[in-house]
Amino acid sequence: GFVPAYPQPQTGYPHPQQGYPQPGYGPIVQQPGPMPQGPPGGWMTIPQGLTNCPPGLEYLSMIDQLLVHQKVELLEAFVGFETNNKYTVKNSMGQKVYYAVEDNDCCTRNCCGPMRPFDMKIMDNFRNEVIHLHRPLACDSCWCPCWLQSMEVTAPPGTVIGSIEQDWSICKPCYSIKNATGDVVLKIKGPICTFSICGDVEFNVYSSDGETKVGKITKQ
């Protein structure tokens, strides 16, 4: 019979894998796209689609923990000269959520010390002020129950949403968080020793009746 001059192609070889160039095929021209990234500078992405939320507070609907880091000023660290405090507020992933800066004059900072009155501006990544804190000059001693610490909270600035007021107590620091109408919504109770040399200082946050623990504030 007739015998072909060339052997027939053998069967059993795998088909060419998709995505790799093969003889007789064109090169791959589509490359993987870049990974999605958040805003520049390590800021948290603004949540979208929220209604009835003041501008700039959308972040708070997506997180259950905030980390506040104070910026160390060399002049204050080495000389003891009080400067306006600055803070970076981050989420648990290390992304920046807010930037806070104290607004005060030199005389008040260095004469009144930690008890000084101040205004604190809390801003978003666009440097828009979204929360304003105002604390007047007051005392924190149990011997002055009529002149204890208080702080007014406005968001957006100019619209009062609540306040934080110190409660009279002999041993432990206690505070009440109130809404715009003055109703107590949360309670804060601190330890007897509030100095960091004793370790982490924890302030527990309770419901309005002071019984159910709903969170905590830790100073390291």
d(Cα 148, Cα 102) in Å, to the nearest integer?
21
pLDDT tens for each residue of the chain, 220 residues long: 555 555 555 555 555 555 555 555 555 555 555 544 556 679 999 888 888 888 889 999 899 999 999 998 776 666 666 788 899 999 999 999 999 999 988 888 878 877 889 999 999 999 999 999 999 988 877 677 777 999 999 999 999 999 999 999 888 899 999 999 999 999 999 998 888 777 889 999 999 999 999 999 999 8
- Buried (b) or exposed (e) across 201-213, using 16+ Cβ within 10 A? bebbbbeeebeee
State the DSSP H helix or E strand holding residue 153, giving kind and residue range, or none if neither: strand 150-154
pLDDT at 8: 56
pLDDT at 15: 56
| pTM recorded for the entire structure | 0.76
pLDDT at 211: 93
